[in-house]
Amino acid sequence: MDTKLILVIDDDRAVRDAFDLALSEDYEVQLAESGEKGLDLARNRKPDLVFLDLNMPGMDGVETLCRLNDLDIKIKVYIVTAFAQDYMQGLRAAKDRGTKFQLAAKPLDAKQIRAIAGIMTQDA
For residue 1, what pLDDT is reported? 59
pTM, to two decimals: 0.96
Distance CA 70, CA 53 (A): 18
pLDDT at 123: 76
Q: Where are the beta strands (DSSP E) in the chain?
A: 5-9, 28-32, 49-52, 77-81, 102-105
Q: According to CATH, what is the number of the domain 5-120?
A: 3.40.50.2300
Low-confidence ranges of the chain (pLDDT < 50): none
Give residue 2's pLDDT: 84
